Chain A
Amino acid sequence: MRNSQPESPVSSISERLSGADPRASMTQLFESMRPDLLRFAHWLARDRSLAEDIVQESLLRAWRSRDTLKDRGAARAWLLTIVRREHARLYERKRLELVSLDEALDIQAAEKAAESDGDLFTLRHAIMRLPIEYREPLLLQILGGFSTEEIARELTLSSTAVLTRLFRARNKLRTICGMAPAPDVSASEVAP
């Protein structure tokens, strides 16, 4: 007896669906966003293969609940949100460790040889080393285009807490770029 095919990830769905199928355009839409999702997941997870797993799982989830996406114009934000939650689930499940000093040194030293812009290299490294509570809102804001209020909703934080975290994230990066750090803000953070 042959088993029926499981629901396929987007990459194989695209092969099965014809252009006339309304699902095909959805598949195309998802596929067109894969590079953005992968980049976002990579910055979150700090690991390329983990990011690919996260994106694949996220696209499967998105495909299963595609009917809830009413406005295609909101697809990007919707997918980024799914990726973020998938990363958070994985993070909680596996208690992923931070990139260690030693790993970072080895990986980054090899990379530096191929990097032409030292400042960008330093900045990339610094962003990668930001604690997740600072990195996540920064990525949502810059890569995702989310507003402070949207980030606050997604992270279940107050808007003030999001502002504080974004400020601190940039302040850390500012210091690393050789500028004098701004005085830390006194706004109190609200715990997630």
Chain B
Amino acid sequence: MSCEQAQLQIGADPSDHTPGLEEHVRDCAACRQFREEMRALDANIRRALERPPQLAGAPRLSAAWRPWALAASVLLAMLAVLSVWVLRPTDTLAHEVVAHVREEPDSWLHRQHVDAQSIDDALRGAGVKLDITSDRISYAQSCWFRDHYVPHLVVQTAQGPATVLILRNQRVNARQTFHESGMSGVIVPGPQGSIAVLTRGGAPVEMLAAQMQQDVRWLPDAP
């Protein structure tokens, strides 16, 4: 059994115990590691599937609990300030992403959605496609960043605008969270690069990043 076959079987069913797979995994550290990761992921998938989204309801607090809720909010705010300090960027890529966005402050002022042609223009030459046609993209430019053209988008959300940079040529090994210059964001890995999502307000960057990971198609032949 080849590693590709083993990983296909593991990815399809991490609990698979067929003799051929067991034999391969016993002798292949990479596939053994892959199986451990996929089993951990599967446990989380099972937990996630226990309750669909939207079934959750925020519990209402009685009047007696409100002072405690206020105290908890203050504590959370303090923790948030602390985490901003702790999570200040040490990564150069995150720093440069923030610096780039700061150079285009007008990007967050646009409110009208851009048309599909403008989005296509921003993506052209970046080696990516986007599977969304959102009328909340209010800014789409192709920007020069680290010797490559990258799409620079602004997505309007209920909590304010969020910037998305699709960085085909900038690989990261794992998700990176950062806070700098009043902006907070995340850089997530993609098959052939990474995606940076950041906001000055409370836009849901994690969720948007997760969505972009699904919606961005990385073309095989990048310029």
How far does the alpha carbon of A39 sit from the alpha carbon of B214 in the complex, in Å?
23
Q: Measured between C-beta atoms, what is the minimum distance from B174 to chain A in Å?
A: 5
Contact A42 B11 (CB under 8 A): no
Contact A182 B136 (CB under 8 A): no
Q: Are A180 and B46 in contact (CB under 8 A)?
A: no
Range of interface residues on A (Cβ < 8 Å): 35 or more
Known: A102-B134, A180-B173, A181-B191. A123 touches B12 (CB 8 A): no
Contact A105 to B204, CB < 8 A, known contacts A119-B44, A162-B12, A186-B4: yes
19 A–B contact pairs at CB < 8 A?
A: A42-B55, A43-B49, A101-B132, A101-B155, A105-B207, A111-B54, A112-B207, A119-B44, A122-B207, A125-B53, A126-B213, A127-B48, A128-B52, A163-B12, A164-B12, A166-B11, A167-B8, A174-B38, A179-B174
The dominant DSSP class at the A interface is: helix
A185 near B8 with CB under 8 A, answer: yes
Q: Which B residues lie within 8 Å of A48 (CB)?
A: 52, 54-55
Q: Is B115 an interface residue (CB 8 A)?
A: no
Contact B211 A129 (CB under 8 A): yes
Task: In the complex, identify which listed stretch (A24-32, A74-82, A84-92, A135-143) lies at the interface while the others stay far away.
Answer: A135-143
Using A113-B58, A166-B13 as known contacts, say yes or no to A178 and B191 having CB atoms under 8 A apart.
no
Minimal Cβ-Cβ distance residue in A for B215: A101
B41 touches A173 (CB 8 A): yes
- What residues of chain A lie closer than 8 Å to B210, measured between beta carbons? 122, 125-126, 129, 176
Bound: A123/B51 CA distance, A: 11
Given contacts A39-B49, A109-B159, A119-B44, 13 further A-B contacts (CB under 8 A): A100-B134, A105-B157, A105-B158, A109-B157, A109-B204, A114-B59, A115-B56, A121-B207, A124-B53, A148-B13, A167-B12, A180-B174, A185-B8
Partner of B45, one of A109, A121, A125, A142: A142
Interface residues of A in 35-94 (CB under 8 A from B): 39, 42-43, 46-48, 51
